[in-house]
Amino acid sequence: MIRGLKNLRHARQSQQLYLSSKYYSAKVTKHNSIYQANESYEISGYKESPVRAYLDQEAIINIALQSGAEAIHPGYGFLSENSEFIKKCEDKGIIFVGPPSHVVQGLGDKTAARDTAIAAGLPVIPGSEKTVTMSEARLFAEEHGLPVMLKAVHGGGGRGMRVVKEMSQLEDSFQACVREAEQAFGNGDMFIEKFLDQPRHIEVQVLGDKYGNIVHLYERDCSVQRRHQKVVEIAPSVNLDKDLRERMLSDAVKLAKHIGYVNAGTVEFLVDSSGKHYFMEVNPRIQVHLNLILWSSEHM
């Protein structure tokens, strides 16, 4: 398990279920999450760059094996959407608390997720069908017109994203996204899509079990953002057309069933000024605002 608040929740839940919890970090400190866990381990060798420690797949798996851990919960960010890491856990007989590797491979990569959504029959925003180089991004912008959105394939949380409204901004924005994505996610691959101006950002929470059952827990409105980072989330969404809500809920479940989704995940949509919705991406992991949707779904 990794990272502050989420770590505390996992440790407390483990205690309630009479499970032993183990904590790993780049540097063992006096954080409460260490004292809540039964055991703690340090990932050494990253004094100058502690963030990189959370991307060291071999070190994390070795700690799990040596400590006798049966499962790894990644929290969010870092390796939580890394299908390679999940596959390594599966190969070593370690339970990854999240979707299996084949699901994340089809959804965690934004270009693969877009292909999966198209195959499932969901509407998508016009964009590149694969990762793009700087020259390919320029060709797309010239063909489809500005503004465009640059996105890191493995990005999230507003990082590795830039809106380009002038052609003169394209190269600097592209390079900035690559650097940001490499630092945050260990991968600087980029794709590009047409930018929708002032859309509503609606997310649908889905849950799936290993027997193929999929349910949704309704939606939340994440339209209030700063620099593509969500600031306020409202659940259920206010002033959302009933038919539009049902279409998005249905599409979210349809996509989850198509890919064989397991565990908690979020299907994100953008809604334009005409009320048409487009698939945006999937967060194939637990999110920090899960508690909000759990509470609001009880009152729908």
Annotated catalytic residues are 285
Q: Six-digit token pair at 213?
A: 């059952």
Q: Tell me the residue type at 56.
A: D
Q: Report CA-CA distances (Å) from 245 to 24, 159, 208, 289, 295.
A: 41, 28, 20, 20, 19
Kindly write down the DSSP assignment for every residue of the chain, as one continuous string. --SHHHHHHHHHHHHHTT---EEEESS--S-HHHHHSSEEEE--S-SS-HHHHTT-HHHHHHHHHHHT-SEE---SSTTTT-HHHHHHHHHTTPEESSS-HHHHHHHTSHHHHHHHHHHTT--B-SB-SS---HHHHHHHHHHH-S-EEEEEEEEETTEEEEEE-SGGGHHHHHHHHHHHHHHHHS---EEEEEPPSS-EEEEEEEEE-TTS-EEEEEEEEEEEEETTEEEEEESSPTT--HHHHHHHHHHHHHHHHHHT--EEEEEEEEE-TTS-EEEEEEE-S--TTHHHHHHHHTT-
